[in-house]
């Protein structure tokens, strides 16, 4: 019984982490779109450089977020196959 309760708790944690990372991904994509829109309209070179640096950092964060999402999805798939 204790194993079952612990397993269910772990499943809930993974599911909430998945939802959390999906929200991170959505927010990062929105931030990237915002910066790209600003970059298109920006005429000052220094501001363009700043936005490009921000975009590179955001894209790196998005990449890591997607890796974490894929890892969580694999864990959930393995869990469901084991049930």
Q: What is the pLDDT of residues 9-61, one digit of tens each?
A: 666 777 888 999 999 999 999 999 999 999 999 999 999 999 999 999 999 99
pLDDT of amino acid 70: 95
pLDDT of amino acid 12: 72
Distance CA 75, CA 81 (A): 10
pLDDT of amino acid 83: 58
pTM score, whole prediction: 0.80
């Amino acid at each position: 019984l204790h194993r079952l309760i612990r397993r269910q708790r772990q499943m809930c944690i993974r599911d909430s982490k998945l939802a959390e990372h999906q929200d991170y991904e959505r927010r990062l994509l929105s931030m990237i779109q915002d910066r790209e829109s600003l970059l298109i309209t920006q005429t000052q070179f220094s501001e363009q450089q700043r936005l490009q640096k921000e975009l590179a950092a955001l894209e790196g964060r998005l990449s890591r977020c997607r890796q974490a999402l894929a890892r969580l999805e694999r864990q959930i798939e393995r869990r469901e196959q084991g049930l």
